Chains A and B, each alone.
Chain A
Amino acid sequence: MTPLVQARRPGPRSLVTLIRCEAKMVVRDTAGLVVPLCLPLLIMLTSASGASRTVVANGRTALDLYVLPLVFTMVVAIIGIINMPSFLAYYRRSGILRRLGVTPAAPAMVLAAQAVVSVLQALVGIAVALVVAFLAFGANPPADLGRAVAVVALTMTAMYSAGMIVAAVAPTPNSAVAIGLVAFFVLGALGGMFGGRDSLPEPLAEVGGWLPFGAAVEALSSAWAGIAVSTANLVGLGATVVGGAVVAGVLFRWE
């Protein structure tokens, strides 16, 4: 009675192939590709000209401290809260995950590939916004580059974690988009997407600073200005990461 088959999971080559396929799916989904890259860029273009002439602090302008953090956060939030959950809901609804379930590939590979592609797409969106901001509007680099990169990474993790909650509770791709859109606009509104948190009633502004969108915008702004990121922002983003992971871990279903 000798075992004849060794347990062998698909290796890195398989994951790379899956990432390539997921990337092609994103590229061929025109709306999913264009909206997260172009909508924030459009918002930047409408406000960058004036903002780039208003110096706020440390030689940094309103473009550096308010517009760019908002644009980066929008890119990451659209991809993390709207796009990624809708892909996962589609995969679950259409039975793609079920089909993969009868191959040696673990469904978690799909999750990993989606996360990698989403991060790459977000980085492209951020890079495009940065290039336009630097070349067309004379934007300044962050005073603390390392801190800014760390905040972007934390923001991505928080938004994808929030997106996993959407993916866990949405029964269909359409409902994932609907829930994702509502979550995006609510978080965005409370986080200063429509005119700054200081224009909100005090309690809402306070809450917005703890929620992931507002926390990300404020933390990025601090990193750009070279001042310490507030504990409230870090706790808000960290709590979203943990909360999203726990909720998704309990509620997410592959089928």
Chain B
Amino acid sequence: MTSTEPAILAEHLAKSYRGRRAVVDVSLRVELGEAVGVVGANGAGKTTTVEMIAGLRVPEQGRVRVLGLDPRRDRARLRQVLGVQLQQAHLHHALRVTELVDLYRSFYPDPRPTGELLDLVELTGQRRTSFDKLSGGQQQRLSIALALAGRPRVVILDELTTGLDPAARRRMWATVERLSSEGVSVLLVSHTMEEVERLCDRVAVLDAGRVVALDTPAGLVARAGTSTLDDAFVALTGRQLTEEPA
């Protein structure tokens, strides 16, 4: 890792599953301290893209660097400074909240204190509740806390607020704003235009495995000649956010 590298650099990524091209050509760059959103309809290639950036999948083409590190080759170094919240929470179902937090904290040299993490995602009252007894939203919040356990310098948040009620969603947004204010670089995958408009400096619009636009929220609106980001998305992709690509 070097001091002059961007937080995330993805160049011409491509990935197929059983002959189906999930990601055709995705390039994006997240500068240090920047928050970049990734939006797209279901099947647009968002999750595959972030999984390649996180090192969970190997791109067939293109290259990825996170803080200058190769996610596969420099795995051990990168994992110390990268926090990842996956789309679905996958945790030991019978462990309690504090046990899970303490387990994930133990992986890092300088973790955030357990109490601070639980306060951050408002799970202090559930600290003795086992993971399988948490609601979907609480499981999501715990997953986010674990992604932040190691004081990451870059976080990847995939469907950050899916499953959360409106109040919890706004509290989670405040958490991301706090991370941004601390200089943490954020890559946020979202289905909610309101979310990326509020949290992200720039937004990448994905459609059928390609980046069709990458600009500030205001820039996307201006480019599409619409009045809202929702309408801009429809104008840029020709589909609604919930629509499957052909």
Contacts and interface: CB of A to CB of B under 8 A. Distances in A.
Nearest to A28: B94
A10 interface: yes
Given A3-B2, A13-B106, A17-B106, A102 B94 contact: no
A98 B80 CA distance: 16
Contacts of A95: 86, 88, 90
B109 interface: yes
Contact of A96 (B55, B92, B106, B107): B92
A210 to B, nearest CB: 38
Nearest to A9: B76
Contacts of A105: 107
Interface in B51-70: 54-56, 67, 69
A217 B165 CA distance: 58
A1 B79 contact: no
A29 B94 contact: yes
Nearest to A21: B103
A5 B80 contact: yes
A5 B81 CA distance: 8
Contact of B2 (A1, A7, A14, A104): A1
Interface in B168-190: none
Interface residues of B, number: 38
Contacts of B91: 96, 99
A17 B101 CA distance: 11
Contacts of A18: 103, 106
Contact residues of A: prevailing secondary structure: loop
Most chain B beta-carbon contacts within 10 A, residue among A3, A28, A94, A104: A104
B84 A102 contact: yes
Interface in B77-104: 77-82, 84, 86, 88-95, 99-100, 102-104
Nearest to B69: A5
Contact of A14 (B79, B89, B93, B106): B106
Contacts of A4: 1-3, 67
Interface in B101-133: 102-104, 106-109, 130
Contacts of B3: 1-2, 4
A46 interface: no
Interface string A187-231: 000000000000000000000000000000000000000000000
A103 B86 contact: no
A96 B99 contact: no
B217 interface: no
Contacts of A3: 1-2, 77
B77 A102 contact: no
A4 B90 CA distance: 31
Contact of B80 (A14, A29, A99, A104): A104
A1 B106 CA distance: 30
B150 interface: yes
B150 to A, nearest CB: 7
A103 B107 CA distance: 7
A24 interface: yes
B4 interface: yes
B90 A96 contact: yes
Nearest to A13: B106
B2 A103 contact: no
A4 B80 CA distance: 11
A17 to B, nearest CB: 4
A161 B25 CA distance: 43
13 contacts: A1-B2, A5-B69, A5-B78, A7-B77, A8-B76, A24-B99, A25-B92, A96-B91, A103-B104, A104-B76, A104-B80, A104-B107, A105-B107
Closest 7 interchain pairs by CB? A95-B90, A102-B84, A7-B76, A14-B106, A17-B106, A104-B79, A99-B90
